[in-house]
């Protein structure tokens, strides 16, 4: 397992980047540390979605619900119960995956667009419950000032925690993608009918992928609470689902790390352009239109493609 | 080994398969022939579960498989290739076959083991036996049509089927490719002990390798018998002369 990670593409680059990111907090302003934290959380959310959308080919239209369930689970457990705090950290992803199992169980029975439509309806139902149930969830006020364990008391320590969990999650996602489970999932994306004909239970495999993806979305939800100390119903709103869908598209469906780039671009736009105009989504829209016309494989997909053609040309020149 | 009894399948008002009968014995090479639209592909789709029959029985090793989904039928030991090339276009040749081998070995759900180290021996042996080993790292979208048809067949071998169903294995191939493919099918039947059921337009091919031939016409079974019986049958001659391209 460890050898596999070492063999990953550009291991040196990845490890160096990780070390640089670890060293940042004392060197840059707090505001940037906060933004980076937000980018990490959003990246993990987008990566979890891409497992089912990019690599699984499913129309997971309402992924934010599982993020929200993870976030609300830990927030509610830490504010309303006196259970040990670690329970909240574990329960977030697990409950997200259970909700994923429940919603997914209905959705995999349908195909393509119908899958997506059903998921939007079921997901919106959960949003409505969170939004309306004032006594329990705080309704549209949400929950603020969620207490955190001592070792997460400062912004910097939260930053380290989020970065390390993100790195661990990315390694797991990478292993999953390169495992038989991952390669079968990609085969189902390309040709579900043929997969059935070679003895694969397509619906069950898809359901498993949804459970795995929603588990990681739940982790992202927990990390959001670690960073923000609050939750609100927008976390489960369909607008956010659309946004993370766009992040995957922006970064590149078929690449591993593309969604991270997509998340970074989207979060940066929201914060830096959002400072000047509330119509920052207009800029996102324009970028998206340009992207669809000029880089249909996404930003990362474009560079990976360019890199491949270059190495291929070099190889061809090498042995004529 | 396989028995199809009075199977009926209709699409809305059109009877695609109407009282088809077929029997395939262990180790046999059986061909289904008939004019275009006779219902050959529909019959194959009924056997392997892509479609569900309206009436009749499909019995494999004394078990009715008519209600089973395709993946379970595959697990019972029936593999198939498709007439229209039906592969995984983004994956390499190696990965295309590996998907089937992993499924056969019940390893499709392993989460944290690198796939590239699994099922390698089996996959390479299949590639070798069909002659695609030197192309194993090519993306299949870039293969020639003939190679894609061969790969189509090789994927089915990944499941180690006892009965292999081939839907027009040589369609669209050049005469040389066709010849090589027929030799390959004969060799596979011999070396892997496969029972083969196939359909084909080219009568020369059918009469050169089939031990038993079933003739379909307008969804019905006209006759099933040895090649010479079929050749001399009046009804068959009438059906073929009665206005069709084959």
pLDDT, position A134:
86
A301 Cβ partners below 8 Å, 6+ apart?
A251, A252, A253, A254, A255, A258, A295
Nearest chain A residue (CA) to B165: A197
Nearest chain A residue (CA) to B157: A198
CA-based nearest residue to B170, from B48, B81, B79: B81
Nearest chain B residue (CA) to A196: B71
How many Å lie between the alpha carbon of A199 and the closest alpha carbon of chain B? 4
How many Å lie between the alpha carbon of A29 and the closest alpha carbon of chain B? 39
State the pTM of this model: 0.87
The average confidence (pLDDT) of chain A is 88
pLDDT, position A140:
87
Q: What is the pLDDT averaged over residues A174-197?
A: 93
CA-based nearest residue to A78, from A133, A152, A187, A165: A152
pLDDT, position A7:
47
Per-residue model confidence as pLDDT tens digits over A218-236 = 999 999 999 999 999 999 9
Q: Is the pLDDT of residue A252 over 90?
A: no
pLDDT, position B234:
85
CB contact under 8 A, B115 and A183: yes
* Lowest-confidence segment of A272-281, B79-88, B122-131, B169-178 by average pLDDT: A272-281
A49/A59 Cα distance (integer angstroms): 10
Assign residue A75 a region: left if phi > 0, alpha if psi is -120 to 50, beta otherwise? alpha
The answer to whether B48 faces chain A, any CB pair under 8 Å, is yes
A207/A47 Cα distance (integer angstroms): 17
* Lowest-confidence segment of A122-131, A270-279, B43-52, B137-146 by average pLDDT: A270-279
The answer to whether A177 faces chain B, any CB pair under 8 Å, is no
* Lowest-confidence segment of A72-86, A115-129, B220-234 by average pLDDT: B220-234
Give percent above pLDDT 90 in chain B. Answer: 53
Per-residue model confidence as pLDDT tens digits over B31-58 = 999 888 888 999 999 999 999 999 999 9
A64/A240 Cα distance (integer angstroms): 6
CB contact burial A204-220 (16+ within 10 A = b; e otherwise) = ebbbbbbbbbbbbbbbb
Q: For strands B2-11 and B29-33, give the pairing.
A: unpaired
Do residues A95 and A69 touch, judged by C-beta distance below 8 A? yes
Handedness of CA A76, A81, A85, A91 (dihedral sign): negative
CB contact under 8 A, B91 and A178: no
Long-range contacts made by residues B182-191, C-beta under 8 angstroms, separation at least 24? B182/B208, B182/B209, B184/B130, B184/B131, B184/B150, B184/B153, B185/B29, B185/B153, B185/B209, B186/B29, B187/B129, B188/B129, B188/B130, B188/B157, B188/B164, B189/B27, B189/B29, B191/B129
Give percent above pLDDT 90 in chain A. Answer: 64
Name the B residues in 156-185 with CB < 8 Å from any A CB: 156, 158-159
Partner residue facing B118 (CB), from A175, A180, A254: A180
Q: Is the pLDDT of residue B244 over 60?
A: no
Confidence label for A2 from pLDDT (cuts 50, 70 and 90):
very low
Q: Is the pLDDT of residue A4 over 50?
A: no
Q: Is the pLDDT of residue A188 over 70?
A: yes
Confidence label for A34 from pLDDT (cuts 50, 70 and 90):
very high
Which CATH number is associated with domain A33-318? 1.10.3470
Partner residue facing A180 (CB), from B86, B107, B159: B107
Map tokens 């929950």 to a residue.
A143
Q: What is the pLDDT averaged over residues A117-123?
A: 93
Q: Is the pLDDT of residue A100 over 90?
A: yes
pLDDT, position B241:
58
B97/B82 Cα distance (integer angstroms): 15
pLDDT, position A319:
42
Name the A residues in 252-291 with CB < 8 Å from any B CB: 254
Per-residue model confidence as pLDDT tens digits over A162-179 = 999 999 999 999 999 999
The answer to whether B50 faces chain A, any CB pair under 8 Å, is yes
CATH superfamily entry for domain B1-77+161-246: P-loop containing nucleotide triphosphate hydrolases (3.40.50.300)
Per-residue model confidence as pLDDT tens digits over B175-216 = 888 989 999 999 988 888 899 999 988 888 888 899 999 999
Sequence ranges of the domains in chain B: 1-77+161-246, 84-160
Confidence label for A316 from pLDDT (cuts 50, 70 and 90):
low
How many Å lie between the alpha carbon of A182 and the closest alpha carbon of chain B? 7
CB contact burial B108-127 (16+ within 10 A = b; e otherwise) = bbbeebbbbebbeebbbebb
pLDDT, position A280:
81
Q: Is the pLDDT of residue A97 over 80?
A: yes
Name every chain B residue with its beta carbon within 8 A of the beta carbon of A180. 102, 107-110, 113, 115, 118
pLDDT, position A10:
63
Assign residue A145 a region: left if phi > 0, alpha if psi is -120 to 50, beta otherwise? left
Per-residue model confidence as pLDDT tens digits over A5-27 = 444 556 788 888 899 999 888 89
B107 DSSP assignment: -
SS3 readout for chain A: CHHHHHCCCCHHHHHHHHHHHHHCCCCCCHHHHHHHHHHHHHHHHHHHHHHHHCCCCCCCCCCHHHHHHHHHHHHHHHHHCCCCHHHHHHHHHHHHHHHHHHHHHHHCCCCHHHHHHHHHHHHHHHHHHHHHCHHHHCHHHCECCCCCCHHHCCHHHHHHHHHHHHHHHHHHHHHHHHCHHHHHHHHHHHCHHHHHHCCCCHHHHHHHHHHHHHHHHHHHHHHHHHHHCCECHHHHCHHHHHHHHHHHHHHCCCCCCHHHHHHHHHHHHHHHHCCCCCCHHHHHHHHHHHHHHHCCCHHHHHHHHHHHHHHHHHHHHHCC
Per-residue model confidence as pLDDT tens digits over B154-170 = 999 999 999 999 999 98
Q: What is the pLDDT averaged over residues B225-240?
A: 84
CB contact under 8 A, A175 and B90: no
pLDDT, position A238:
92
Name every chain B residue with its beta carbon within 8 A of the beta carbon of A194. 82, 86-88, 155
Confidence label for A302 from pLDDT (cuts 50, 70 and 90):
confident
Confidence label for A1 from pLDDT (cuts 50, 70 and 90):
very low
Name the B residues in 96-135 with CB < 8 Å from any A CB: 96, 98-100, 102-104, 107-116, 118
Cβ-Cβ contacts under 8 Å between A and B: the total is 116
C-alpha dist (Å) from residue A126 to A74, A212, A285, B56, B205: 16, 20, 28, 46, 61
CA-based nearest residue to A47, from A214, A231, A181: A214
Q: Which of B46, B114, B137 to substitute to test the interface with A, most A CBs within 10 Å?
A: B114
SS3 readout for B17-84: EEEEEEEECCCCEEEEECCCCCCHHHHHHHHCCCCCCCEEEEEECCEECCCCCHHHHHHHCEEEECCC
């Amino acid at each position: 397992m460890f050898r596999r990670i070492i063999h990953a593409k550009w291991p040196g680059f990845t490890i160096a980047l990780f070390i640089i990111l670890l060293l940042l907090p004392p060197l840059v302003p707090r505001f940037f540390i906060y933004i980076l934290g937000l980018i990490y959380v959003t990246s993990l959310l987008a990566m979890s979605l891409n497992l089912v959308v990019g690599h699984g080919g499913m129309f997971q239209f309402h992924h934010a619900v599982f993020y929200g369930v993870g976030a609300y689970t830990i927030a509610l457990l830490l504010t309303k119960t006196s259970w040990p705090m670690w329970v909240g950290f574990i329960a977030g992803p697990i409950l997200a995956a259970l909700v994923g199992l429940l919603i997914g169980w209905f959705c995999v029975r349908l195909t393509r667009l119908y899958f997506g439509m059903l998921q939007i309806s079921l997901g919106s139902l959960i949003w409505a419950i969170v939004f309306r149930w004032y006594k329990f969830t705080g309704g549209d006020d949400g929950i603020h000032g969620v207490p955190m364990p001592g070792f997460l008391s400062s912004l910097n320590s939260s930053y380290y925690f989020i970065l390390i969990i993100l790195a661990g999650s990315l390694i797991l996602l990478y292993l999953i993608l390169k495992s038989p489970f991952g390669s079968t999932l990609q085969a189902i994306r390309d040709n579900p009918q043929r997969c059935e004909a070679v003895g694969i239970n397509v619906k069950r495999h898809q359901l498993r992928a949804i459970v795995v993806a929603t588990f990681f979305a739940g982790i992202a939800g927990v990390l959001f609470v670690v960073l923000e100390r609050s939750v609100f119903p927008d976390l489960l709103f369909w607008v956010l689902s659309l946004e993370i869908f766009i992040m995957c598209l922006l970064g590149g469906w078929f690449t591993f790390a593309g969604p991270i780039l997509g998340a970074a671009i989207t979060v940066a736009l929201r914060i830096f352009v959002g400072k000047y105009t509330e119509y920052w989504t207009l800029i996102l829209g324009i970028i998206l239109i340009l992207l669809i016309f000029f880089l249909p494989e996404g930003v990362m997909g474009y560079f990976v493609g360019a890199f491949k053609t270059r190495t291929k040309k070099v190889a061809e020149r090498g042995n004529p | 080994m396989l028995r199809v009894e009075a199977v009926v399948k209709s699409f809305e008002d059109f009877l695609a398969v109407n009282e088809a009968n077929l029997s395939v014995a262990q180790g046999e090479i059986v061909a289904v022939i008939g004019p275009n639209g006779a219902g050959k592909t529909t019959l194959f789709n009924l056997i392997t579960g892509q479609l569900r029959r309206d009436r009749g029985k499909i019995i494999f090793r004394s078990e009715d498989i008519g209600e089973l989904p395709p993946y379970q039928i595959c697990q019972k030991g029936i593999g198939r290739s498709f007439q229209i090339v039906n592969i995984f276009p983004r994956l390499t040749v190696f990965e295309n076959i590996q998907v089937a081998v992993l499924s056969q070995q019940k390893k499709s759900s392993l989460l944290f083991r690198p796939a590239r180290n699994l099922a390698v021996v089996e996959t390479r042996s299949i590639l070798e036996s069909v002659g695609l080993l030197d192309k194993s790292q090519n993306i299949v979208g870039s293969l020639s049509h003939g190679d894609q048809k061969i790969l189509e067949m090789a994927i089915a071998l990944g499941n180690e089927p006892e009965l292999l169903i081939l839907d027009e294995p040589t369609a669209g191939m050049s005469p040389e490719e066709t010849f090589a493919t027929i030799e390959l099918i004969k060799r596979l039947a011999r070396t892997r002990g496969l029972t083969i059921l196939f359909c084909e337009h080219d009568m020369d091919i059918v009469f050169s390798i089939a031990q038993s031939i079933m003739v379909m016409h307008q969804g019905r079974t006209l006759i099933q018998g040895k090649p010479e019986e079929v050749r001399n049958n009046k009804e068959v001659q009438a059906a073929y002369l009665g206005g069709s391209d084959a």
